[in-house]
Amino acid sequence: MSPMTYKLSRAALAWSLLGLAACAMNPVTGKRELNFVSESQEIQLGKQGAEDVERSIGVYPDSALNAYLNEVGHRIAATTERPTIPWQFHVADEPVVNAFALPGGPVFIARGILAYFNSEAELVSVLGHEIGHVTARHSAQAMTRQQIAGIGVGLAQVGVSMIDPRLNDYVGAASQGLGLLLLKYGRDAESQADALGFRYGVDNGWDMRDGTKMFNTLSRVSGDPGQRLPEWQSSHPAPEGRAQRNDERVKAAETRGVKFDALRVDRNGYLRRIDGLVYGEDPRQGYFEGTKFYHPGLKLTFAFPEGWKTQNTPEAVAGVSAAQDAIIILSAAGKETPQATGQKFAAQQGVTAGQGQSVTINGLTAYTLTFQAQSEQGTLAGRVTWISLDGTTFQLLGYGSAEKMQGNDPLFVAAGRSFARLTDQAKLTVQPKRVRIVTLRTSQTIVEVGRANGNTLPDAELASINGVREDEVLPAGTLVKIVK
């Protein structure tokens, strides 16, 4: 199922920030600063966090592209102020324009943002920025500030782990993992990361003038109401200002004798590496048509109630009511029969289950029951239906407050009855859109190139991913991206 939720294990945040406060030397500035997070704790957080990100978001299944990112990332990291921490670099299988770093070394660059880069130097401008967050220990600083303010890194969480521990990861924004990924660095930290990324790039031989191109591309994307907001810059300073500051850094470097024309850009090499990159949502990991969900790989389909907000992750697919007072979650529950799985569920301490019932749903063996359980917010009530498909038992769990059960239960029942084997060949064989690299035979605008080569993107979006204007004439021999 596709990536939408970031989550880390609760164990990753279980260490205490209430120990002795310590002043530590910042590896970038050389100044002593108050920091409750030791380097070993930072590394442990990052390690466990990376494991959960890989499980919940997924790493893009292209070994060559991941090896390339690792090669470039380690080349930069080896020359930073923290060369010996356990750096790791992954292409996250995520369609949005996004990149993020976890404490202690893990860096993830989403495949969605890779489609917007037009040179290796542009990639380095973002990769260096994320490395800068790690070297300057911005996550540790942010966690320390939150602890001082009494906020803490954990977010409010519905206490329903006695029903199913996975619930903790799908109740809106209650995932503990969001605590790390939603830490706000502040403008000073973001500007410092930009400056560090610029320096790392230049020191390692890249032409960081291309950082301005990358910021200008983000500006175009964020300014077009028809485009998705780039998540990578949503909590950052405006890209226009960052482009200007990048130009100022270029001028300052030139006065120091840096010869940018002699440095590496590698436009064509980078474009060839992303030829075939999946663009946008990958329907093979599950997709929605309205509130109806299809998963070609698992060969299943079911429907959420109309008007519900839905999300899809590799581990589960979930929907929340418009009033946010009910949730339905579909996940794999193992290989045991629906009845055996249901009986184990009902036997859990803290769960009061109704009489279970064996049923048949669209020709599939199933078992269903209602339940109640106590949480910090009061009594929860819901229905669970287990359905067997091709040797796997799937769990469809719906719950809300006990007071709303009478109105919610018909919705939970209908969702269970909608579960069926997917047989539509068009949906079983659906394929994602991919980036394709085209070499211009004659001078053309990007719009003309797209129309001549079967591009499926709107003209403005096609221009954005190529970093050009729609009416800009590109010379023969130029490599450009289309999506089809």
Of 316, 301, 325, 336, residue with least CA distance to 397: 316
Residue 264 phi, psi dihedral angles, 5° rounding = -80, 135
Question: Can you give the pLDDT at residue 172?
Answer: 34
The confidence score (pLDDT) of residue 315 equals: 83
Distance, in Å, from the CA atom of 394 to the CA atom of 386, rounded to the nearest integer, reads 5
How far from the centroid of its chain's Cα atoms is residue 428's Cα? 25
Closest of 215, 28, 249, 8 to residue 134, by C-alpha:
28
448 Cβ contact list (under 8 Å, min separation 6): none
Q: Report the Cα 270 to chain-centroid distance in Å.
A: 22
The SS3 of residue 439 is strand
Residue 39's pLDDT is 82
Taking the C-alpha atoms of residue 121 and residue 123, their distance in angstroms, rounded to an integer, is 5
* Helix/strand/coil for 211: helix
Torsion angle, alpha carbons of 57, 60, 65, 69, to 10: 10
The single-letter DSSP state of residue 65 is: H
**Phi, psi (degrees; rounded to nearest 5) at 247:** -60, -40
Looking at domain 283-428, its CATH class is alpha beta
pTM for this predicted structure:
0.79
**Total residue length of the chain:** 484
* Residue 303, token pair as written in the block: 């429907």
pLDDT attached to residue 7: 36
Q: What is the pLDDT along the chain (484 residues), one digit of tens a residue?
A: 433 333 333 333 333 333 334 556 677 776 666 566 788 888 988 898 899 888 888 899 999 999 999 999 999 999 999 999 999 999 999 998 889 999 899 999 999 999 999 999 999 999 999 999 999 888 777 666 665 555 433 322 322 333 333 333 333 322 333 334 444 566 778 889 999 999 999 999 999 999 999 888 877 776 543 444 444 444 556 777 889 999 999 999 999 999 999 999 999 999 999 999 999 999 999 999 999 999 999 999 999 999 999 998 888 999 999 998 999 999 999 999 999 999 999 999 889 999 999 999 999 999 999 999 988 778 999 999 999 999 999 999 999 999 999 999 999 999 999 999 999 999 999 999 999 999 999 999 999 999 999 999 999 999 999 999 999 999 999 999 999 9
According to DSSP, the β-strands at 420-421 and 392-401 are unpaired
Q: H or E stretch including 231?
A: helix 231-234
Domain boundaries, the chain: 10-278, 283-428, 433-483
Whose CA is closest to 465, among 432, 433, 430?
Answer: 433
Q: Write down the pLDDT at residue 266.
A: 98
